[in-house]
Amino acid sequence: MSKVEFRITLAQLNPTVGDVAGNAAKARVAREKARADGADLVVFSELFIAGYPPEDLILKPAFQAACRAAVEELARETAGGGPAVLIGTPWVEDDKLYNAVALLDEGRIAALRFKANLPNYGVFDEKRLFARGPASGPVTVSGVRIGVPICEDIWLEESEEYENVVECLAETGAEILVVPNGSPYARDKNDLRLSIAVARVTESGLPLIYLNEVGGQDELIFDGASFALNADLSVAVQLPAFEENITTLHWSKTSDGWRCSGPITPLLEGDKADYAACVLGLRDYVRKNGFPGVLLGVSGGIDSALCAAMAVDALGADKVRGVMLPFRFTAQVSLDDAAKLATALGIRYEVLPIADAVNGFEKILSGTFAGLPRDITEENLQARARGTLLMAISNKTGAMVVTTGNKSEMSVGYATLYGDMNGGFNPIKDIYKTEVFRLSSLRNEWKPDGALGPSGEVIPVNIITRPPTAELRENQTDQDSLPPYDMLDAILERLVEREEPLASIISAGFPPEVVTRIDRLLNIAEYKRRQAAPGVKVTQKNFGRDRRYPITNRFRDPGKPLPEPDPTLLSRVGRASVDAFEG
């Protein structure tokens, strides 16, 4: 008699790359929860046992062996009954390394499935790490045929290289699609995931479970937000974002196939989701790397204020230390606002004047600089003195320095190498300045679930409304050197995220001289960005993982309409290179 009831436990968990034993322990806890729920199967995310993405660590034979040994031990543990386990792991077979999912049941590795479509764009470069697996049929658990496409196996559309894994599974008798994922967060990505899943359900006629991991791994944030669709495209289940969750789904077989219903959790969107991603990224970077806490320079400005709030929300006030480092250009209002911020957040706070350090540097350099006018060099000495002091406290205490530069500043190089760029991690590295203002106002009226900071106004309103300034000279504001941030960020979004030609940006109404200048600053600041601390990715194209430009680069867009190709110069022989060589 065929099974008419089937329970699947979704383990939306936060693995740590390289912590094979720790990840296996998480799997055991989840399996015990699944056993208590009467589940037939418990499912884990892509490469769960290794942590995702493992990058070149996955090429290390000792790591491959450790992952395999852990999976084998988990398989042995299924001999005593309880739910089967579907878990992501690297797997070596016939001297080829695969991104695999192992089905563990009845004391053995009952089946293996290998990822067929390997992503090689954006933050992904799996083609250089893994061999491509074949499109395979479903695995069987308690008589139910489960199709297991792995992440990209449902994402790619038809192309010359695309292996239609879902079509293969449908044709070979799959009844439910279970998709383990390692899908990083980006703003509005939930809509994209849902549309991809809807397309696969539509073409296959099968219900689909989309299981994503949660947690931070260096720059990448995995938001979880796992879900399930019934075959009629109704949303059966929606798990929360940015938190671990173990939920057992009860599936019933009807005349139209398998169907389930479960909890539907509203998801954070827009600025709220970005804020939650930044908090999760900072929390996991600090905890997974073993730092006892963090410290940051608190200037009385909005960037450091927002980072301080994020740090407290991530780690708790007792793990955050703020340091004000004033010089003679620091306004009293900055000192007052920084103190108010520290009080509102409940963090340890101290004031360390830097005059002795800056004056000492200038005295040492007085002979070398004799006869030369004062300029940005002396301004940068202030930033570098601050950076040195923060790093000294970090060295002494073990606390990590939080870097506080936003994406607008990192884009145009409005930051000092070995000064305010010092630090171990930057939660707002991928947040433009205009969003920094929005997130600061947002945090004063809302905080995400699980945040450890206080509710209410934590960032003094004057910090949000006051014109931004680096305070490296008298009466300085950011707009002395940069266009208004509304304009700057709009231009940068077109240059960075969209890669628009200058002519297109200018034709949209932006001043040609401003667009040309911003493009130049963007190009010449590449050497700074290469030396910047890692930071949370929230946009479709961040610096580092996504946008990889050469430092040495003489090309400049002249800002003129792009020339049209001349088809008359391409001969028929030239179009067929094989014929050209063989003819």
- Active-site residues: which are they? 46, 115, 151
* Residues 377/407, Cβ–Cβ less than 8 Å: no
CB atoms within 10 A of CB 438: 17
208-212/176-181 β-pairing: parallel
Question: What CA–CA distance (Å, rounded) separates 501 from 555?
Answer: 13
Give the number of residues written for the chain.
583
The DSSP symbol for 135 reads P
Question: What CA–CA distance (Å, rounded) separates 360 from 344?
Answer: 35
* Residues 34/83, Cβ–Cβ less than 8 Å: yes
Question: What CA–CA distance (Å, rounded) separates 468 from 466?
Answer: 6
Report CA dihedral (190, 191, 194, 195) to the nearest 10 degrees.
Answer: -150
Angle at 426 between CA 420 and CA 428, to 5 degrees: 105
Contact partners, residue 581, CB within 8 Å, separation at least 6: none
Question: What CA–CA distance (Å, rounded) separates 267 from 239?
Answer: 8
Question: What CA–CA distance (Å, rounded) separates 409 from 432?
Answer: 8
- Sign of the C-alpha dihedral computed for residues 284, 390, 439 and 498 taken in this order: negative
Residue 137 sits at φ, ψ, to 5 deg, of: -80, 180
Q: Is 466 exposed, middle or buried (0-12, 13-18, 19+ CB in 10 A)?
A: middle
C-alpha to C-alpha distances, 378 to 102, 305, 325, 356, 375, nearest whole angstrom: 60, 25, 16, 14, 6
Burial of 549-563, coded b for 16+ CB within 10 Å and e otherwise, reads eeeeeeeebebeeee
* Residues 173/137, Cβ–Cβ less than 8 Å: yes
Question: What CA–CA distance (Å, rounded) separates 379 from 382?
Answer: 6
Supply the angle between the helices 376-397 and 355-365 in degrees, to the nearest 10: 130
CB atoms within 10 A of CB 270: 12
* Residues 495/522, Cβ–Cβ less than 8 Å: yes
